Chains A and B, each alone.
Chain A
Amino acid sequence: MRRARTAAVDHEGRVRPAGRLSRLAVAGATLVCGMGAWMAVPAGVSAGTTARSPRSGHAAHAGPADAGLEQSWTSGASAWAVVALGDLGRKLDTFWEIVVRPAGTPRWSVVTPPGVASNGGFSAEGTPGGSSGAGVVTAGFQPSQYLTYSPIASTDDGGKTWTAGTLASGLLPVADAVAAEPDGAVLALVRAGGGALLRSAGSLTAWSTLVGRRALDATRAGRACGVLALSAVVASGSSSPELGAACGVPGVVGLFHLSSSGWVATHVRAPAGARSTFTVLRLASGPVGTWALAEGRGPRSASLVALWRAGPAARWRASPQVRLHGSVLSTAALGGRSLLIATGSGFRTQDLLWTGGPGTHWRSLGPPPAGTQVVVPAPGLASLAPAGAAPAAGPGPLSALVVAGSEVTVWHRAPTGRWGPSAQRLHVPVEYGSST
């Protein structure tokens, strides 16, 4: 009862002005500080947070530089390319296709190996041989969604039929993750154990490990590079696998080959890249030897350097370094030692860089048609120039595959350097939403 009466008395009173002002000031200050702190929190918290699916870790790639999976090559008289179609803004609706222009025909057709969703991309390689003169093509599927290992397929009849196999692990997400040896064995760079090189016995289902990244890094050759990741593989003409790596040691381009005494470093000191760390993006072999493309990442800029050598015993010869804007999207080996590099971002090629071979400077060919994914040399061009021939004066005839949704348009480059569309448009029956 006393409380009630006291309250009634209280109810008649007023709050003292001085107390109210001080409370107001404290409340205001607290409010401003609190709001400021609170507004700062979400940005800080969300900056470090990304939604991750339980299995997305499979797609992680340790390499410090990535190149696109789009690529082209000529094999015998046929031209091949890997392009991405569909809704390029949505990973699961981006379907990677293998297209071929067989010898003797101007028309391109889709020969993507069936039976697997290709929305993870391909690592593919063509080598001479095969029953139809179109070469032997080996294509490994990159893991996608819940598929964490890589199906692999090979064709020797221009993509009419494919032989299927399986890797127990996922391929590393690099363009040159598979390579075929002359004896039919296949080399594959996989993610297991932080990166490893496997070799099949020929059936594409039984694999043995040749070397792992950690084991390579522990060798004397590996320590000189500081192997961060395996990044490319090729089977040179002598059947000896050659490996490209991402090096942690600045200025070193990590190139290895397997000799009878084990893995041997054939490192190259980049001409002007003392402060850059290099990743071998591509490794390919052809009639005139092996070539490599490496990307250097420095504190402020990125650069490219191409390297060639005529055989396992020969020394690597490097091109001058060229500044890289964006990233390397695709590469193509042209006649002799000439190389063409498409650079840009996303799936948009913004510039074409060409070099005629060791010692020749890079030349910009300017932007190709809008929507160009890969530039393809004329069939047979890669084998035209004999070893030791003088560097080519220009890239020669080129075709560009321009992609819009599920349609590919073929453009040709005239000797004047102008691009014009051909009559062929390739409609690809992409099944949107089929693999999501």
Chain B
Amino acid sequence: MGGMSRGLQLHNPLVVSAFHRALVDRFLVVLAVAALLALLWSAVAAVRRRSIRRVVLNEGAGQRADLGAELGAGLGAVRGAGPGAAALTAVEPPGRRFVRGAFGLLWILDGLLQAQSAMPLGLPAGVVRPAAAGSPGWVLHLVSVGTTVWGNHPVEAAASVVWIQVAIGVALLVAPRGRWSRTAGVVSVGWGLVVWVFGEAFGGLFAPGAQWAFGFPGAALFYVVAGGLVALPERWWRGPRLGRVVTGALGIFFLGMALLQAWPGRGTWRGGRSAPIAVMAAAMARTSQPRVLSRWVAAFGSFDGAHGWAVNLFLVVALGLLGVALVTGRRRVVLAGAGAAVLLLLADWVLVQDLGLLGGLGTDPNSMVPTLLLLAGGLLALLRPPVEVREPVFLSVRGLAETPAPRRWELLAPGVVARTAGFVLTVAVGLVGVIPMAVAGASPNASPIVTEALNGVPGQVDAPAPPFSLVDQSGSAVSLAGLRGKAVALTFLDPVCTRTCPLIAQTFRRADVLLGARAAKVELVAIVANPVYRSVATVDAFDRQEGLNGVGNWLYLTGSKRQLAQVWKAYGIEVELAPAGAMVNHSEIVFVIGPRGRMRAVLNSDPGATSSARLSMATLVSDELRAVMER
């Protein structure tokens, strides 16, 4: 009924099943790419075996032993020189390896968390908007760009994010060295920034009341930093300097957070039930999780409620001391500070952030874990020097004069081939996320599934449409019979409705745009659904209000009370005058009528509470009109 827009349930079965289907479909694409790569791998391996046998035959028995040893070791280098040809090279620095591996796993975890059933419909309202609450207008505007794309294409966006984040994680894990590894770091920075800006609203940087204890400045920012560290040239990791920079930067960060917690007027010193940490803990404790954890969180919330001032004092002092300890750069002090940081960060992660991902729509383990991992990476870089090892080196093949030389790719080391295949697979995983996301982002339309989730799938019918003969907004007579030869989208609108009818009218206007040249074969028709305000002047005022007076194929029909009542009855439209200043209640339905006057589809037309729902309805209406034209 008019004016009673319903919201979408997060676990709407239609959307959830489409989301799961999209995930599976893309997984199948990834599998197909993996199968192709496996085939390629076996082909390369076969060619390589033949090449090596040829080399062995040509070089004689003396070199056979070398090759056999090499093949056994799996190092894959074909060489004419003896064992002494190995060179001194450095393995990946431990700090870098740790940061790369840890954040690779975190990205994969985040990707898997994005696969929660409620994510397509829940992320904007349950995660992004709360994060942006209180931020200035420009932040809200920026964030709304992301939520609009997500809201218009919830299934595509949610499935894409799963695969993008899994791909970044896999890329970080499978590419330990070199250009591809650094590329994975750069991609991690890029996507981390996207998540930080559009998903975390800059981590609350511009919102009042941001607190370190709750996760300020946002987990994704730590992913960005980690990605940046991986993207650095490896030589930067060869000494303790980078470790000092990382731990020192974290020290400054902790000092800043101490200042933030101590800053007066931000509510951090407040106690009682309204103490921010107590409120947060109480909210977190209510979410679905193991009882023991819930009890801990609730107990800490109560403790903070009783001793809010003291808890904040402890936080300020602890963060300040940690910051000073890390900034000094003295090994023992830094180590002591890092030990204390582990305790503080873990305590906050469990007691305030509630592990970050339990209950609600957790998309990551919040900020404490990535902070700890960065700290650990920095410490490793500071305290553990990189190790140098002897590695066999690919040398030129000699003694092949009698037979054609094998091509370079035929002699590729298995490790190189494996890494190449792994990275290609990773790129494939990423692309199954990126391409649909890019398509969705570039599309000005919305997926029909949003309105189908709200209103149900259109009912397909095949029956003669009840005739009508009324007058349009200019007073000219119009009948359904006179519209033969055109597809008709017919709805019933109250011209003085304050909410839903203007929105439905806008979806018709949008559908007209979506139809493009085909709109010439379509009539968009509304019939008045108000027994009191039904004059031609009123429908004309409505048209002007909605900018429909310039739409050539728009007809807003009215008539006498009796004429209208007959049409309402024929189409099963309920119209009811409500008492005490409420607007008229009426059915919100769109009928799609074919060029031969037969009703083909019936759509519930609740425009919903979001612009995505309305765009989606416009897409659905235009799709249905196209369908009846093609029948």
Residues of chain A touching chain B, judged by Cβ–Cβ distance below 8 Å, are 1, 3-4, 6-8, 10-11, 15, 20, 23-24, 27-28, 31-32, 34-35, 38-39, 41-43, 45-46, 49-51, 85, 95-97, 110, 112-120, 141, 144-149, 151, 162, 164-168, 205-206, 406, 428-431, 433-436
Contacts and interface: CB of A to CB of B under 8 A. Distances in A.
A15 to B, nearest CB: 5
Contacts of A49: 136-138
Contact of A45 (B136, B327, B533): B136
B487 interface: no
B499 A146 contact: yes
Where chain B touches its partner, the secondary structure class is loop
A119 B577 CA distance: 16
B140 A114 contact: no
Contacts of B140: 51
B22 interface: no
Given A31-B255, A45-B138, A433-B4, A4 B496 contact: no
A166 B238 contact: no
A45 B4 CA distance: 35
A77 B503 CA distance: 44
A429 B581 CA distance: 9
Contact of B580 (A20, A39, A45, A429): A429
B498 A145 contact: yes
A97 B208 contact: no
Contacts of B205: 38
Nearest to B495: A166
A392 to B, nearest CB: 35
Contacts of A97: 580-581
Contact of B541 (A24, A38, A50, A168): A168
A31 B259 contact: yes
- Interface size range on B against A: 35 or more
Interface centre among B4, B136, B241 (most CB of A within 10 A): B136
Contacts of A141: 496
Contact of A7 (B208, B239, B577): B239
A28 B255 contact: yes
24 contacts: A1-B88, A7-B386, A8-B239, A27-B248, A32-B259, A38-B205, A45-B206, A51-B140, A85-B580, A112-B579, A115-B577, A116-B498, A117-B3, A117-B497, A117-B498, A119-B498, A147-B502, A151-B533, A151-B538, A164-B533, A164-B538, A205-B537, A429-B579, A434-B4
Contacts of B538: 151, 164, 166, 205
A4 B577 contact: no
B532 A164 contact: yes
Contacts of A24: 327-328
B252 interface: yes
B179 interface: no
A117 B238 contact: no
Interface string B311-339: 00000000000000001110000000000
B256 A166 contact: no
B583 interface: yes
A41 B206 CA distance: 8
A149 B386 CA distance: 75
A312 to B, nearest CB: 32
Contact of A147 (B134, B135, B497, B537): B497
B329 A148 contact: no
B92 to A, nearest CB: 12
B139 to A, nearest CB: 9
A115 B206 contact: no
Contacts of A96: 581
A115 B328 contact: no
B531 A115 contact: yes
Contacts of B50: none
Contact of A117 (B239, B241, B386, B581): B581
Q: Which of A8, A112, A433 has the most CB of B within 10 A?
A: A8
Contacts of B541: 149, 166-168
